[in-house]
Amino acid sequence: MATHGERHVVGYKPADTNQGWGAALFICALTTALAISAFVIHKQTYKDPTDPRTPNVHQMADYEGAQHSPAAAEH
C-alpha cells in the first residue's frame, strides 16, 4: 500500500497559518487613515516661510531683545 505523504503522529497538530489577517488588515487601514489625515492637516496648516502673510519672527525677536537689553544692564 502506498503512502501519500502525511502520516498521523501522536500529539502533532498542524499549524493554522490563516489566522491574523483581520488584525493585519485593520493595522493597514489604520496606517492609511493616519497618513491621509496627516497629509490633509499639513496641507491646511502649513505656511511657507517666504509667504508675505507670515509674521517675521526674526524682527520680533530683535525688537524684544532691544527692549530687554537695558533692563538686563540695570541688574
| Domain chopping of the chain, boundaries | 21-47+54-74
Give the tens place of pLDDT for each residue, 10-65: 888 888 888 899 999 999 999 999 999 999 999 999 888 888 887 766 665 555 55
Residue 66 phi/psi, 5-degree rounding, is -70, -35
pLDDT digits (tens, 9 = 90+) for 30-41: 999 999 999 999
> Is the pLDDT confidence value at 2 over 60?
no
pTM of the model: 0.50
Burial annotation 32-44 (CB, 10 A radius, 16+ → b, else e):
eeeeeeeeeeeee
The x, y and z cell numbers of residue 60, run together, are 520680533
Q: Between the CA of residue 58 and those of 13, 49, 63, what are the distances in Å?
A: 69, 12, 9
